[in-house]
Amino acid sequence: MDLIHIEAVVRPSDEGDLPAYSAGDAYVSGGTWLFSEDQPAARRLIDLSAIAWTPIATSPDEIVIAANCTYRQLEAFDWSALPAGRIFPVAIRSLSSSFKTYGLATVGGNIGLAFAKGMMTPVFIALDASYELVTPASAPGAPASVRLVSAAAFQTGVRQTILGPGEYVRAIRVPRTAFARRLVLRRAAHQASSHVTAMVIAAADPVSGAVTLTLSGALTYPVKFTLDPATPVAAQVDAVCAVRPLLADSHGGEAYRQTLLRELATEALAALAAPDHAA
């Protein structure tokens, strides 16, 4: 789509060259959503795709995924030493966008978009990730401001996040220990090519034995809770749905989506308990 209101495009290869925020600025990464519809409020595009961040960096303590890491880079990474990473290809294939977008669409774009049908934030919540958020310096020579927030606190509604004016996601930091978890993702959608109507990620921690459920897709934004083995799972899902707004749209009403969450949670937990489970 032609964005007829755009007056300037900035595409630095060095993060330090990002301009101070002005009203009408919009960050673009892969552009798979941004260029798919009119952006009447945007006057200047700030393209983050050329910044030379390492797509996926590993250290003894954590795995750091750059915001401009594409789905293709995330899929192609060798996750064999980090078993929970096998969930990324599963999550990517649960998007309704075509594989043709995988070389462009980015992790940061999916997070920043904050759709209820977003796939990255629920995965990162299940992995106890934190997001590194940056606001560029307001004047040349002044420092940029950086903060770290938990993935669980980032999204606050459909297309709503805690990002302030000019703030962008630089990186996603995941503790290495989280990659030892066993994860199972279960989703429901109208068709194989539709976006999710409801989604559940069950995770088992090998050290503590704790099991968590992350519910998404059916809710306006994702939520995670630790399973209480003494309470039926359906009742625990219902308790979450009583406090976290459910979504109602052409893909299904609230009661339908709540039922899907219960079913998917039960399925995911059964799969997690199976000896040869796969994400």
Ligand X SMILES: Cc1cc2nc3c(=O)[nH]c(=O)nc-3n(C[C@H](O)[C@H](O)[C@H](O)COP(=O)(O)OP(=O)(O)OC[C@H]3O[C@@H](n4cnc5c(N)ncnc54)[C@H](O)[C@@H]3O)c2cc1C
Longest dimension (CA), the chain: 59
Instruction: Choose the stretch contacting ligand X; rule: CB under 6 A; options: 23-31, 207-215, 218-226, 227-235.
Output: 23-31
Site for ligand X in 165-194 (CB under 6 A): 168-169
Binding-residue total with ligand X (CB under 6 A): 31
Instruction: Say if CB 57 and CB 76 are below 8 A apart.
Output: no
Nearer to ligand X, 216 or 258 (CB): 216
Considering only CA atoms, which of 9, 3, 11 is closest in space to residue 25?
A: 9
Residue 269, CA atoms < 13 Å, CB-side half-sphere: 19
Report the residue number whose CB is nearest to ligand X.
109
Nearer to ligand X, 49 or 258 (CB): 49
Select from 29, 130, 212, 214 the one that contacts ligand X (CB under 6 A): 29
Binding status of residue 131 toward ligand X by CB under 6 A:
no
Phi then psi for residue 172, to 5 deg, are -115, 125
Q: How far is the CB of 195 from ligand X (least distance, A)?
A: 3
Nearer to ligand X, 27 or 79 (CB): 27
Nearer to ligand X, 28 or 183 (CB): 28
Say how far apart CA 38 and CA 3 lie, in whole Å.
Answer: 6
Nearer to ligand X, 70 or 258 (CB): 70
Binding status of residue 53 toward ligand X by CB under 6 A:
no
Say how far apart CA 177 and CA 165 lie, in whole Å.
Answer: 33
- Specify the residue for token string 């897709």: 217
Instruction: Say if CB 155 and CB 161 are below 8 A apart.
Output: yes
Nearer to ligand X, 110 or 155 (CB): 110
Binding status of residue 149 toward ligand X by CB under 6 A:
no
Query: What stretches of the chain show up as alpha helix (H) in DSSP?
Result: 71-76, 87-93, 107-113, 120-126, 151-154, 233-243, 254-273
Neighbours of 249 (CB within 10 A): 11
Binding status of residue 241 toward ligand X by CB under 6 A:
no
Site for ligand X in 69-128 (CB under 6 A): 95-97, 101, 104-106, 108-110, 112-113, 115, 117-119
Neighbours of 85 (CB within 10 A): 23
Chain residues binding ligand X by CB under 6 A are: 26-34, 36, 48, 67, 95-97, 101, 104-106, 108-110, 112-113, 115, 117-119, 168-169, 195
